Amino acid sequence: MSHSDDRQADRGPLTQPVSMSGTSAPSELRIVDSSELLAGHSSLLIRHLGELYRLQTTRQGKLILTK
């Protein structure tokens, strides 16, 4: 995603359908802004199938998901 795409997503609602034609993914996927998920924190825990995962930001602004 380019920087202009990032800015476009910032202007939209929290979640937006996105067409992913030509992939095996569903025809529409939700986009959730990471700032909404993290809500001012640098990490959060996600429970998935009974396991806990940590989503965190790096100093470079990247996201890491670890178990």
Q: What is the pLDDT of residues 16-27, one digit of tens each?
A: 565 656 555 566
The predicted structure's pLDDT at residue 5: 45
Per-residue pLDDT, 9: 43
pLDDT at 28: 86
* Alpha-carbon gap, residue 65 to 35, rounded angstroms: 15
Q: Render pLDDT for 8-67 as a digit per residue (tens, 0 to 9).
A: 444 455 555 656 565 555 668 999 999 999 999 999 999 999 999 999 999 999 999 999
Tell me the helices (H) and strands (E) count for the chain, helix number first: 2, 5
Nearest to 42 by CA among 30, 54, 31, 33: 54
